[in-house]
Structure 1
Amino acid sequence: MTVIDPNGTGLHADAVRALSAWSVADADQEQLRRDYLGHLAEQPEGLYRSCLPAHITASAVVVDPDAGRVLLTLHPKVGIWLQMGGHCEPGDATLAAAALREATEESGIEGLELLSVDGMPTPVKLDRHLVRCTGKDQPENTHLDVQYVALAPAGAQALISEESLDLRWFDYDRLPELTDVSVRELVALARELTG
């Protein structure tokens, strides 16, 4: 892992660049993009768990387009099937690198590649949601999630990590009941973009 800046200012600049460069036609996604940029403008530490009541997170839905399947993790705190993802760390060089690190750690799959536009990994969706990442006895805070698509090598075998209750491949058309609307939308978008 390459460290651009141990204080994370390089990561902050990259997040601003990635969100500023991302264009989206959907009005709700555009409003979220502006909200995320506003958060970053006000919060120099806005990418880290310590920034409360909200912080940027990075995630990636892992797909195997040739097999028509998606890898989801059964999250131990939330109790539903989600894409891989989590908090940014000071060693993350870019927002995309944070998403790729999380996807690799949680899937156990080496060689994942983020979907790119013009050779640059690009977000595909934003999702704002409440969580209790500071502890179950603490107030909820807001994750400002920046979501990517990670392409798995052909025939990839997943390896469950300690961060998951379960880890499974699902056919695009047979997602488990315990998923939320956001995950279903992300999987549909990934399918469309990689189809």
Structure 2
Amino acid sequence: MVTAAALLARYVPQSTDEAADVARIRQLVDTADNPWHRATPLHVTASALIVHRESERVLLRWHQRQRAWLHVGGHGDPGETDPVDIALREGREETGLTDLTPWPDPELVHVAIVPVRAKGDEPAHEHADLRFVLATSRPDTARPEKPDAELRWLSLTEAHETTTSPSLRETLTRVEKLLS
């Protein structure tokens, strides 16, 4: 099992903004009883950009709450603390892809603190998002987990044009370097 603390300890931020986010997340991980607990204003999440290496396409998912095309991922379930396992579970649940594997390795590709809109009685909050890359060799088997969570396979250029998220655009840029 890999912990968020271990992943963050060996991660090298690529900008001053990312270094600030990493510092906030390290403090959260080091001091919180449960940094994954959803009730706190800032909590850890794990996510991934899914790639099909042969076609150099990435999979984006419509997130109704954020009203945006984003990558897959989310919260740890009770008792889960391994970020890679959480990203894999979320990826499988949200896409139906059963062959997902960390690529090129199970290390972080990007770390970002992202705002999340309020919904119902859940207030606006922030996700301390630990991002990975997952690969599939069977892109045609992807299926949305629910009707309002459409999936789209896109080239990297198309993905850059489709998403409105600056932090996802940065993740896409990093994945593009890995694929080239």
TM-score under structure 1 length normalisation = 0.83
Asked if residue 46 in structure 1 is aligned to residue 35 in structure 2, the reply is yes
In the TM superposition, residue 32 of structure 1 has moved relative to its aligned partner by 1.6
In 2, Cα distance between the equivalents of 1:68 and 1:184?
16
Partner amino acid, structure 2, of 1:90: P
In 2, Cα distance between the equivalents of 1:163 and 1:131?
21
1:162 equivalent among 146, 149, 166: 146
Deviations 1:99-131 (A, max 9, x none): 1111111111111111244xxx11111111221
In the TM superposition, residue 157 of structure 1 has moved relative to its aligned partner by 2.4
Partner amino acid, structure 1, of 2:19: E
> How do 1:25-44 and structure 2 match up within 5 A?
25-44=14-33
Higher deviation after alignment, 24-33 or 75-84? 24-33
In the TM superposition, residue 24 of structure 1 has moved relative to its aligned partner by 3.1
Corresponding residue number in structure 1 for 2:55:
67
Q: Percent identity?
A: 27
Corresponding residue number in structure 2 for 1:95:
83
Across the two proteins, how many residue pairs are aligned to each other? 179
In the TM superposition, residue 68 of structure 1 has moved relative to its aligned partner by 1.6
Partner amino acid, structure 1, of 2:172: V
Q: Which has the higher helix share?
A: 2
Please tell me whether the aligned partners of residues 18 and 122 of structure 1 are also in contact (alpha carbons under 8 angstroms): yes
Please tell me whether the aligned partners of residues 48 and 89 of structure 1 are also in contact (alpha carbons under 8 angstroms): no
Deviations 1:27-55 (A, max 9, x none): 322222121110112211111213x1110
Moved over 6 A (4+): none
TM-score under structure 2 length normalisation = 0.89
Asked if residue 86 in structure 1 is aligned to residue 71 in structure 2, the reply is no
Asked if residue 140 in structure 1 is aligned to residue 112 in structure 2, the reply is no
Which stretches in structure 2 are left out of the alignment for 5+ residues?
Answer: none
Describe the shift of the 1:39–1:193 C-alpha distance in structure 2 as closer, same or farther (beyond 3 A).
same
Describe the shift of the 1:156–1:93 C-alpha distance in structure 2 as closer, same or farther (beyond 3 A).
farther
Q: Tell me the SS of whatever aligns to 1:173.
A: helix
Structure 1 vs Structure 2 CA RMSD: 2.1
In 1, Cα distance between the equivalents of 2:88 and 2:157?
25
Describe the shift of the 1:185–1:163 C-alpha distance in structure 2 as closer, same or farther (beyond 3 A).
farther
Please tell me whether the aligned partners of residues 66 and 117 of structure 2 are also in contact (alpha carbons under 8 angstroms): no
Partner amino acid, structure 2, of 1:18: L
Asked if residue 192 in structure 1 is aligned to residue 177 in structure 2, the reply is yes
Higher deviation after alignment, 159-168 or 122-131? 159-168
Please tell me whether the aligned partners of residues 163 and 169 of structure 2 are also in contact (alpha carbons under 8 angstroms): no
Corresponding residue number in structure 1 for 2:167:
182
